[in-house]
Amino acid sequence: MIFGSDNSISLKQIARKIFLEDWVMKLIALLITLALWLGVTGLSTPTTKRFTVPLNFNLSNNADITNEPIQEVDIVLSGDKRKIEQINRAELMATVDLTDLAAGDRVLSLTPETVSVQRPLGVKLDEIQPSRIAVRLETVEEKDVEVKAATTGEPASGFEVYSETINPPKVRVRGPASSVRTLDHVLTDVIDLAGAQQDIVKRQVPVGVSNAKKTAVLNTVVDVSIRIGEKRLERRFSIVVSGKRVGFALFGPRSIVEHVRSDELKADLTRTESGEESARIILPESIQDRVEIRNVRVAP
């Protein structure tokens, strides 16, 4: 009987200690626990949200896309509501890995398994729209092509362009095979010739191609020298040498060619191995480097 009374007293003491002593502290702890529970359950509230994001392709170094696939796709994300609401739309991007894809026309399936989107832990990629797109993948090639000077305007009256020299004369281009194989030259930036009366020299002139998005010039500048001088004309002459009539033309600046006299011109006759006669025209020393001899013929 005494044992039972002591046992009853102990239970009452334990109950008092649990429920009545330090009840304020215990109430605060309960409230904190409840708040944490509500916070966790709030984060776990499931939701879905649709985003429009840029579509990016990972390509190998020797491949390029030559058609114009869509630039954006719609994605659907699901998961914790607060995490999804905190996503910065500007930081989202959908990426498709094409590094192991062979060249050719391909139809890509855009699924959560084939598209990569960086997203918070616990947020799931559910859907991509459109789910299929077409791409044309080409191998990338390189080759050297000629550089030509792009010009505008005309030299001054009475003057003309004699020649253009470009250094280096060729540059290397890189791009899809279909573009590179058909490219035979590239152009410099436009050089203005309007009213020019003397040579024009330009250093470090940029070089480009019309379809720069697909084909790139690897060495992008050249030096350009354009020779400009007095307009030239061609004038025919005929002289007699050892009883043979030798006909030829002189081509050069008008002021020089118009003043050449036939009696200033000479020729040496020789025979070729086949027995035909040929002539070497001898010009006055003052014009030797300034005119060109053309169409030499020896009449019988």
Q: What is the pLDDT of residues 164-221, one digit of tens each?
A: 999 999 999 999 998 899 899 999 999 999 999 999 999 999 998 876 667 889 889 9
Which pair of tokens denotes residue 232? 């030239």
* Lowest-confidence segment of 44-53, 152-161, 228-237, 259-268 by average pLDDT: 44-53
pTM beyond 0.85: the answer is no
22 and 97 co-located in one domain: no
Closest CA to 129 of 108, 117, 107, 111: 111
Domain contains 196: yes
* Lowest-confidence segment of 6-15, 122-131, 278-287 by average pLDDT: 6-15
Give the strand pairing for 132-148 and 170-176: antiparallel
CA distances from 187 to 5, 164, 182 (A): 110, 13, 15
173 and 242 co-located in one domain: no
| Domain count along the chain | 4
pLDDT for residue 3:
45
CATH of the domain at 70: 2.170.120.30
Which pair of tokens denotes residue 256? 């020089």
Domain span at residue 222 reads 141-230
Reported as a pLDDT band with limits 50, 70 and 90, residue 16 is low
What average pLDDT does the chain have?
88
pLDDT for residue 1:
44
Give the pLDDT mean for 133-160.
95
pLDDT for residue 13:
62
CA distance 283 to 100: 69
Letter string b/e over residues 207-243, b meaning 16 or more CB atoms within 10 A of that residue's CB: bebeeeebbbbeeeebebebebbbebeeeebebebee
Give the pLDDT mean for 81-103.
92
CA distance 150 to 22: 93
30 and 64 co-located in one domain: no
User: Percent helix, strand and coil across the chain, each rounded to 5?
Assistant: 20, 50, 30
| CA angle at 221 for the pair 218 and 227, rounded to the nearest 5° | 140
Q: What is the pLDDT of residues 17-51, one digit of tens each?
A: 555 556 566 667 667 776 665 565 554 578 999 99
237 and 279 co-located in one domain: yes
In the chain, pLDDT over 90 holds for what percent of residues? Answer: 70
Domain contains 136: no
Is pLDDT of 232 > 70?
yes
29 and 101 co-located in one domain: no
Question: What amino acid is encoded at 82 in this protein?
Answer: R
Domain contains 135: no
